[in-house]
Amino acid sequence: MSAAMGLASHARGQATETSASAANEVDVGGELAAASFDLSLGDARAALRRLERVAELEPDNPWVLYYRGAALGMLRQPYAAMEALDAADARLAALGDPDPELRERIAEERARARKQVFELRLEMGLAYDTNVTFTGTGGQDFGFISGRSDGVFGTRAQWSFAPVADDANVLAFNVRTAQAWHFKVKEFDFQNYGASLRYARRWDDHWESSITYNYDFSVLERQSYLCNHALVFGLDHHWAASGARVRGRRSGVFYRISAEDFLFPVPEVLDRDGIAHAVGLEQAVQIQPLADANWVWELSAGYMFESVHTQGREFDHYSNNFFLRCGLPLLNPADTGAYLLLPDKEMRVEFDAIWELDQYRHPSLYDDQRKHRRDLVTTCAMRISQVLQSDPRDGDITLNAIIAWTDSDSNVLTDDDGTPFSYDRMFYGLQIAWSW
């Protein structure tokens, strides 16, 4: 904190009306150090209270403005945060740029706040898929392409913008597209084009409600495949900052209604056009296994119930979905202040597990005994991410290695003992991502 205290002393001479009694009551360097500690614990409100006292003495102190911007960004007030950070940068320049490290910190924090308002993300990569079609044996009897492996080249792009983002309201747009091009199984070349509009109302520091409209248009084998409209209502509780080893992060519930229009002709009984209702909940927590190391695990778990009603009969069903996610930084065992491969570049590993239990309402036309179809689909995935470049001006570049396994166990048997909906699938991918 010596740099902060040095700048505090420098800026103290710039204050216009500082009384001796006020100077004795407020230890500028100590308050800045305490504000920094509050921010490290995630307690932005406490940091702002300390900074207000310091600002009465030194309103133009660049460290005060920097920490204020960081706190406002943490409170999800990005426009106010960028204003404070811009003021800190201008003040630092006026002082003759005495602290290049602070200038870099300001740039990093401003980029973090700006991403809450405007963000671009591009991804591309190669992968090998052992079961492109998500089907097992016997599917060919019904015209399916069964159990084909193939390589795939994929791209994804996303643009987000929030014209309104303050302490009470957030209005955000999102535009996205994804492409998947297979080397051999061209029938499963896939493109998706989507957009969303989200409005969130923040009632206080903890409670937030939201409504989101999503639109997606999908193309399969260069033919129109699916048009989907969805409306999502959500209610989230953001937990107060805590120094506990296990601490709550967010609790959320949501309801979603979606209308799907499959854009290809099928027999009436196989018509999948219809309405789906879903309700779910999620709990996210942070875990700090080591008290003396800033090694924080992100853990979330949830449940979703979905009921699908179609214009046909074959695909009417309801689902019980359970998921578990875990993400943690990979640190150097010999130095917990550094990352595993590149000491100053973040490296993370993330695990996902999803269990989907589907029960169909009507006897299946695909089953030889016309049983009601039941599926249990298990998906496990792991992603290792290594940041290669982290630049607040040019953006971040990240290398991702992905591996995923899917197992589907269905009770459907064809006349020749085929199992078109029971299969295994492995997916291996390497991806490069740029975000700004």
The values of phi and psi at residue 297, to 5°, are: -95, 140
24: how many CB neighbours lie within 10 A of its CB? Answer: 8
Compute the distance between CA of residue 105 and CA of residue 215 in angstroms, rounded to an integer.
38
Q: What sections of 268-331 are H helices per DSSP?
A: none
Tens of pLDDT along the chain (436 residues)? 333 333 333 333 333 333 333 444 568 888 888 888 888 878 888 899 999 988 888 888 999 999 999 999 999 999 999 999 999 999 999 998 888 999 999 999 999 999 999 999 999 999 999 999 888 876 665 556 666 899 999 999 999 999 999 989 999 999 999 999 999 988 899 999 999 999 999 999 899 999 999 999 999 988 999 999 999 999 999 998 787 889 999 999 999 999 999 998 889 999 999 999 999 999 999 999 887 777 899 999 999 999 999 999 999 999 999 999 999 999 998 888 899 999 999 999 999 999 999 999 999 999 889 999 999 999 999 999 999 999 999 999 999 999 999 999 999 998 888 888 999 999 999 999 999 9
- In the three-class reduction of DSSP (H, G, I as helix; E, B as strand; rest coil), residue 270 is classed as helix
- Record the tokens describing residue 231, joined without a space: 């409306």
Q: Positive or negative, the Cα torsion across 130, 136, 141, 143? A: negative
Walk me through the domains of the chain, giving residue ranges and CATH numbers.
2-111 (1.25.40.10), 119-435 (2.40.160)
Angle between helices 78-94 and 62-74 (to 10 degrees): 160
- Is the separation of the CB atoms in 32 and 54 below 8 Å? yes
Residues 6 or more apart in contact with residue 100 via CB below 8 angstroms: none
For the entire predicted model, the pTM comes to: 0.87
